[in-house]
């Protein structure tokens, strides 16, 4: 049925009666926009007799359902019983690989009797719960929810993501972010159905993850950050906990150790990693491109091997990010040699190598991934080698770019990036049509030269991050800026409920 035909009864309803209910408004304000949404008449009321059902033996599915039940209990104040069988006044989850729902996708039906969710993976069930969260009143998502009944609009949604990589990067090296701050960032990603957190764990200014074999990387190399303030690092135990926290929210943590440039902090900690072997002070400025590990020393590769070994053991996913960007102090021949050897080391640990786009100048295996950020030719060269690609064009999705000349934080080397510019582009046009299958997805980096705490990160990430989530989830031919900006304006209440320090861009009519 065409959209117009489906909408007809409601157009009629609105023409003759009152404006749309808040429930209806929320169901047409989802971000990312679902693949297919049909708003229907009526409501499902969650009350003190509502129950929850999980029709699956799968333990991951049970975890999703239990956590959602706990969340419902917290926001309503009711005790929501779990039942074995579907019934009226129940929220029924079923996991069934045979229903034809795509991986990570879900089918959601809400009517007056029941809420029914079907998926072929636990991830799909989880994304359905994130949709349900966006459908309940904004104030239920605050620290002090009202604890009472609420209603969901009757509707039917068929949904699945366009890209399997829906990522964000946080630079915890230029300025350090605490575990609690990173967890909060993960919460935001999960709410918008993003599934990768890439952590930039080392740079010239600091090394932020404990390495048991190279302890001075953190006992010395993590002490400071940009501007000379106190830095910090994650112990392996804390990092493991973070990885688990993310996994519980279907977010994969991808660690990055930047090599062979952006390594001043490593060389300051261990002078033998540099060619001149000299002692170095920690660096607290924001220049790039001045440091390089020493290619001529075999011990450099023993170091890299140790680091990859410890990181691989901390990483459940298949990817390790090895940086590779802006190695302006590494001669070209050495750079190419570095990437080839690092790729081997990563493989030897059973992982796939990701690097910034410059790695396309080296020989890439088809398991490797190049992260495009500035030079489209690098993306094409990587694809020509059969490597896969992550799209992070700086002019669109670098969340550290200022919105305009008045922005309180951010850089502007890639130009000002307002909300519309960040949203209005076609990811499908970066590489040729025949190479689309090589595009893993989209990632929004947030570099931290100008931001010191989460509230400042929020100013840059909100409201652009939800737009990136939609670019990665929703097909380009379904999206329009005029529709998106309406929906985004209605997320202001949500931001307020969470206490997010978002930028009130004048491009958006904020509805709060
Ligand atoms: C470029 S993009 C960098 C980072 C900076 C960033 C600032 C890339 C791979 N490298 O070192 O932090 O610009 O926007």
Q: Of these residues, 38, 73, 181, 326, which one is catalytic?
A: 326
Task: Pick the residue whose CA is nearest to atom 2 on ligand 1.
Answer: 373
What pLDDT score was predicted for residue 16? 55
| CA 446 – ligand 1 centroid, Å | 9
pLDDT-derived band at 98, boundaries 50, 70, 90: confident
β partners of residue 197: 168, 253
| CA 447 – ligand 1 centroid, Å | 7
Q: Which residues contact 66 (CB under 8 A, 6 or more apart)?
A: 82
Does residue 459 contact residue 402 with C-beta atoms inside 8 Å? no
Report pLDDT digits (tens) over 206-220: 999 999 999 999 999
| 24 has catalytic annotation | no
| CA 276 – ligand 1 centroid, Å | 26
The whole-model pTM stands at 0.96
Task: Pick the residue whose CA is nearest to atom 12 on ligand 1.
Answer: 447
**CATH 3.30.379.10 intervals, the chain:** 3-159
Query: Is the model more confident about 4 or about 223?
Result: 223
> Rounded to whole angstroms, what are the CA distances from 500 to 248, 264, 318?
22, 34, 32
Token code pair at residue 390:
């992550």
> Rounded to whole angstroms, what are the CA distances from 129 to 126, 189, 253, 474?
5, 14, 21, 18
- The counts of H helices and E strands in the chain are 17, 17
The number of the ligand 1 atom at minimal distance from the alpha carbon of 262 is: 11
The Cα 42–Cα 293 span in angstroms is 64
> Rounded to whole angstroms, what are the CA distances from 394 to 151, 215, 321, 437, 469?
41, 34, 18, 22, 16
Mean pLDDT of the chain, nearest integer: 96
What pLDDT score was predicted for residue 1? 42
Report pLDDT digits (tens) over 319-364: 999 999 999 999 999 999 999 999 999 999 999 999 999 999 999 9
> Does the pLDDT at position 413 exceed 80?
yes
**CATH 3.20.20.80 intervals, the chain:** 165-475+485-498
Report pLDDT digits (tens) over 1-44: 445 555 555 554 555 568 999 999 999 999 999 999 999 999 99
Mean pLDDT calculated for residue range 465-478: 98
The number of the ligand 1 atom at minimal distance from the alpha carbon of 174 is: 12
Report pLDDT digits (tens) over 253-300: 999 999 999 999 999 999 999 999 999 999 999 999 999 999 999 999
| CA 377 – ligand 1 centroid, Å | 18
What pLDDT score was predicted for residue 180? 98
DSSP string of 451-490, one letter each residue: --SHHHHHHHHTTHHHHHHHHHHS-GGG--HHHHHHHHHT
What pLDDT score was predicted for residue 17? 66
The number of the ligand 1 atom at minimal distance from the alpha carbon of 203 is: 11
CATH number for the domain formed by residue range(s) 3-159: 3.30.379.10
Measured from the CB, is residue 411 less than 6 Å from ligand 1?
A: yes
What pLDDT score was predicted for residue 273? 98
Measured from the CB, is residue 286 less than 6 Å from ligand 1?
A: no
What pLDDT score was predicted for residue 506? 98
Give the 3-state DSSP-derived string for 30-60, with helices as H, strands as E and coil as C. Answer: CCCCCCEEEEEEEEEEECCCCEEEEECCCHH
Q: Radius of gyration (Cα) for the chain, nearest Å?
A: 24
Q: Which of 323, 445, 447, 451 to mutate to test the pocket of ligand 1 (most atoms within 8 A of CB)?
A: 447
Measured from the CB, is residue 372 less than 6 Å from ligand 1?
A: no
| CA 232 – ligand 1 centroid, Å | 21
Residue count of the chain, please give it: 512
Measured from the CB, is residue 289 less than 6 Å from ligand 1?
A: no
Across 226-259, b (16+ Cβ under 10 Å) vs e yields: beeeebbbbeeeebbebbebbeebbbbbbbbbbb
| CA 72 – ligand 1 centroid, Å | 41
The number of the ligand 1 atom at minimal distance from the alpha carbon of 414 is: 14
The number of the ligand 1 atom at minimal distance from the alpha carbon of 323 is: 9
Measured from the CB, is residue 23 less than 6 Å from ligand 1?
A: no
Considering only the C-alpha atoms of the chain, give the largest distance between any 2 of them, rounded to a whole number of Å. Answer: 80
What pLDDT score was predicted for residue 6? 55
| CA 334 – ligand 1 centroid, Å | 21
Q: Which residues contact 312 (CB under 8 A, 6 or more apart)?
A: 320, 346, 349, 350, 351
Measured from the CB, is residue 356 less than 6 Å from ligand 1?
A: yes
Does residue 477 contact residue 203 with C-beta atoms inside 8 Å? no
Mean pLDDT calculated for residue range 452-477: 98
Specify the CATH number for 165-475+485-498; select among 3.20.20.80, 2.40.100.20, 1.25.40.10, 3.90.1720.10.
3.20.20.80
> Does the pLDDT at position 474 exceed 50?
yes
């Amino acid at each position: 049925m065409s959209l117009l035909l489906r909408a007809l009864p409601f157009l009629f309803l609105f023409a003759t009666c009152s404006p749309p209910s808040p429930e209806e408004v929320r169901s047409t304000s989802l971000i990312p926009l679902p693949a297919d949404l049909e708003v229907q008449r009526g409501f499902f009321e969650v009350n003190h007799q509502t129950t929850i059902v999980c029709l699956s033996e799968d333990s991951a599915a049970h975890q999703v359902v239990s956590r959602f039940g706990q969340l419902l209990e917290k926001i309503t104040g009711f005790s929501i019983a779990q039942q074995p069988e579907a019934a009226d006044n129940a929220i029924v989850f079923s996991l069934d690989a045979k229903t034809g729902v795509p991986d990570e996708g879900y089918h959601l039906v809400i009517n007056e009797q029941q809420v029914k969710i079907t998926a072929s993976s636990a991830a799909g069930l989880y994304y359905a719960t994130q949709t349900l969260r966006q459908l309940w009143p904004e104030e239920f998502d605050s620290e002090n929810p009202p604890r009472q009944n609420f209603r969901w609009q009757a509707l039917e949604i068929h949904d699945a993501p366009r890209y399997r990589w829906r990522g964000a990067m946080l630079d915890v090296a230029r300025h350090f972010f605490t575990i609690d701050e990173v967890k909060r960032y993960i919460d935001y990603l999960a709410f918008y159905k993003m599934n990768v957190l890439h952590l930039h764990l080392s740079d010239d200014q600091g090394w932020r993850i404990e390495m048991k074999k190279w302890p001075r990387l953190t006992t010395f190399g993590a002490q400071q950050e940009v501007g000379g303030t106190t830095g910090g690092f994650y112990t392996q135990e804390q990092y493991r906990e973070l990885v688990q926290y993310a996994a519980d929210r279907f977010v994969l943590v991808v660690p990055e150790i930047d090599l062979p440039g952006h390594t001043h902090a490593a060389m300051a900690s261990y002078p033998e990693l540099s060619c001149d072997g000299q002692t170095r002070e920690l660096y607290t400025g924001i220049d790039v491109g001045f440091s390089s590990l020493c290619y001529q020393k075999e011990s450099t590769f023993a170091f890299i091997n140790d680091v990859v070994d410890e990181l691989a053991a901390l990483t459940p996913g298949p990817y390790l990010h090895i940086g590779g960007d802006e190695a302006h102090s590494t001669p070209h021949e050495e750079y190419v040699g570095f990437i080839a050897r690092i790729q081997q080391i990563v493989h030897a640990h059973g992982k796939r190598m990701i690097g910034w786009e410059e790695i396309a100048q080296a020989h890439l295996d088809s398991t490797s991934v190049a992260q495009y950020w500035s030079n489209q030719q690098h993306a094409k060269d990587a694809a020509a080698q059969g490597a896969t690609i992550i799209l992070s064009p700086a002019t669109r999705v670098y969340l550290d770019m200022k919105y305009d000349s008045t922005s309180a934080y951010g850089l502007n080397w890639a130009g000002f990036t307002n909300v519309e510019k960040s949203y209005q582009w076609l990811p499908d046009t970066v590489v040729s049509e025949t190479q689309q299958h090589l595009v893993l997805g989209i990632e929004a980096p947030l570099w931290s030269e100008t931001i010191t705490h989460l509230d400042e990160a929020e100013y840059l990430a909100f409201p652009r991050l939800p737009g990136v989530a939609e670019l990665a989830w929703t097909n380009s031919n379904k999206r329009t800026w005029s529709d998106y900006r309406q929906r985004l304006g209605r997320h202001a209440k949500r931001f307020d409920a969470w206490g997010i320090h978002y930028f009130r861009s004048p491009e958006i009519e904020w509805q709060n």
